[in-house]
Structure 1
Amino acid sequence: MAAPMTHPPQPPKQFRGLKIALAATLALAAVLVVVLIAAIALFATVWAFPFGDDDAFTPDHMDAERAAKAFASRDVTIPPEFEFVSATRFPVFTGKESYRGTYRISVSLPSAEDLVAQANPTFPAFDELSCTDYSQESLAQIAGLPCPPGTPALASVRDSLPTHVDPPPDSETLILVGRDAHVELIVEATGH
């Protein structure tokens, strides 16, 4: 006669519930570990390779050729008699960038005014920078002059809109400053 078959002993029902709870806890722990690893990887990626480039929004010095192209894109012509001194591009996240440039010529202020006015006929006539109102003070500030300027200065702003900011967005400003032996042309093309 064959030996009776024996079955392994069954654990009590209370241990079966404990096994299910333990399996659920282990599954939850595994999910939390995966989420934690993903969060650490994301943080490391953002820290090591930030989204965007902060340098893309810092002022950028331009050479004479880039400055001429930038001002030409804003319909500003620098007369060829003027010598390039410096220029800066002020990038923006969206919209039109701003540009500022300085040029120099060794002629009288009236002669420089004539050269610039002939090269830029769409600009209004130059006005004396006298600091009589806020916009005049703002223009003197762009030229790096005190108010009232201790030196003769002229300004012309094209595409001025009635705003509380001068020069207004999307405008072009020409400032001529008479120095001892030369005249400086400061070009400000504001963006938005």
Structure 2
Amino acid sequence: MQDRVLYSSFENSKEKDMTFEQVFERILRFMRLNPNGNYKLIIGTDSQVHYDYTSFITGIVIQCEGKGVWACLQKNKIPRKITNLHQKISYETSFSEAVFAMFTQERKDAMYEIVLPYVERGASFTIEGHIDIGSGPRNKTRVFINEMIARIQSMGAEPKIKPEAFVASSYANRYTK
């Protein structure tokens, strides 16, 4: 059975109903403010099971080390409770993959081109995928680590798990309630 996903636009505390194109323009604008910075594009998703649906929040963060961030999120909903842990983690990773796919090579190149003239002076740009799973012995999600890491790597991003996966486990998590 295929789930019907209720997708939404992107938003943050200052703007609602942004298209991905608007999100991308905000990211470029943020990067142009300090083109010699150390940038990380980070994408991560968290979920919360509610009474009759499961909400998924995907965070997009562009971080300039020591200079701040610009961030937004996308709220998605599946109109049923997802109680199977593997399925829930897999959906989280799928929503992150869908956003990663919006960052086409052309868009990534535009981001690289902002910092490229400053690389000799230490500027950088990396891409990370934050996965809301942990490797601790008491963490039930640890059995899915290799699978989810491989999926994020296939998107061209460096995977991070808890405690380093703050976009999924902190930023996105804050909005799943």
Structures share a fold, TM > 0.5? no
TM-score, structure 2 normalization: 0.25
Please say which structure displays the higher CA radius of gyration: 1
**TM-score (ref. length: structure 1):** 0.24
Larger relative contact order (CA 8 Å, sep ≥ 6):
2
Larger proportion of helix: 2
Relative to its length, the structure with more strand (as a share) is 2
